[in-house]
């Protein structure tokens, strides 16, 4: 499953409207709402619109081993619980810090229903651009799929800081993972 080009390497859609997606008990995508199509079309993802993703395995869309395990753990948590799982994440664009809220709930069939709500956005002081690297290289940084912080010199730092202070405003080449504080958030939710 290909991603829209500026999606954060995971299944967290960035859009002003609340994007909804449901998977069945086997993690196959069985429903997306109209906002999903708007999101896909706005992000060079025309091939993902008009129900093209129905029948695809959600986990195939998650890039990076850590992000995949995180998604598996979330699905497992949602199915084990009888109440909603809710967490906040970032889905930045080069100009905006975008604050999002994800909610997951399961039903008796084992299906899991996701919603991604846009909370608010703030402008970055300068352009902050990332591109997904095909492979890790010496200058490839790790970006957290959830909070968008970037690991540099062994520390997780603000994306705008790394972009400006370390890369002098150039596009930063990244692979995706989950930072320790976001992993801890999931542990606490268990
Ligand atoms: Zn994080």
- Give the pLDDT confidence score for residue 13 in this predicted structure: 62
Give the distance (Å) from ligand 1 centre to CA of residue 109: 31
Give the distance (Å) from ligand 1 centre to CA of residue 64: 14
What is the CATH T-level fold of the domain 19-189, as seen in this structure? Beta-Lactamase (3.30.450)
Q: Could you give the CA distance from residue 143 to residue 63 in angstroms, rounded to a whole number? A: 12
Tens digit of pLDDT for each residue in 58-70?
Answer: 998 887 788 888 8
Give the distance (Å) from ligand 1 centre to CA of residue 135: 21
Give the distance (Å) from ligand 1 centre to CA of residue 147: 4
The helix (H) or strand (E) run that includes residue 86 is: strand 85-90
Give the distance (Å) from ligand 1 centre to CA of residue 183: 7
Crossing angle between the packed helical segments 65-80 and 180-189, to the nearest 10 degrees: 20
DSSP 19-84: EEEEE-TTSBEEEE-HHHHHHHHHTT-GGGTTTTTTT-BGGGG--SHHHHHHHHHHHHHHHH-SS-
Residue 33 backbone phi and psi in degrees, to 5: -95, 180
State which residues of the chain have pLDDT below 50.
Answer: 1-11
Give the distance (Å) from ligand 1 centre to CA of residue 54: 29
Give the distance (Å) from ligand 1 centre to CA of residue 184: 9
- Give the pLDDT confidence score for residue 153 in this predicted structure: 86
Percent helix, strand and coil across the chain, each rounded to 5?
25, 30, 45
- Give the pLDDT confidence score for residue 190 in this predicted structure: 67
Give the distance (Å) from ligand 1 centre to CA of residue 2: 23
Query: What does the domain layout of the chain look like in residue ranges?
Result: 19-189
Tens digit of pLDDT for each residue in 139-177?
Answer: 899 999 899 999 988 999 999 999 999 899 999 999 988
């Amino acid at each position: 499953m290909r991603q829209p080009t500026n999606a954060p390497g995971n299944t967290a859609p960035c859009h002003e409207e609340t994007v909804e997606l449901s998977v069945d008990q086997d993690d196959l995508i069985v429903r997306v709402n109209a906002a999903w199509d708007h999101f896909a079309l706005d992000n060079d993802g025309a091939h993902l619109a008009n129900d093209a993703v129905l029948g695809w395995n959600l986990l195939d869309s998650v890039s990076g081993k850590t992000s995949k395990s995180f998604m598996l753990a979330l699905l497992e948590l949602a199915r084990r619980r009888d109440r909603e799982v809710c967490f906040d994440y970032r889905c930045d664009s080069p100009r905006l810090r975008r604050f999002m809220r994800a909610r997951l709930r399961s039903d008796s069939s084992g299906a899991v229903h996701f919603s991604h709500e846009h909370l608010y956005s703030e402008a970055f002081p300068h352009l902050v651009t990332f591109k997904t690297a095909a492979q890790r290289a010496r200058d490839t940084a790790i970006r957290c799929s959830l909070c968008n912080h970037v690991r540099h010199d062994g520390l997780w730092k603000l994306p705008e800081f790394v972009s400006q202070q370390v890369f002098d405003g150039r596009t930063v080449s990244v692979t995706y993972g989950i930072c320790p504080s976001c992993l801890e958030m999931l542990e606490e939710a268990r």
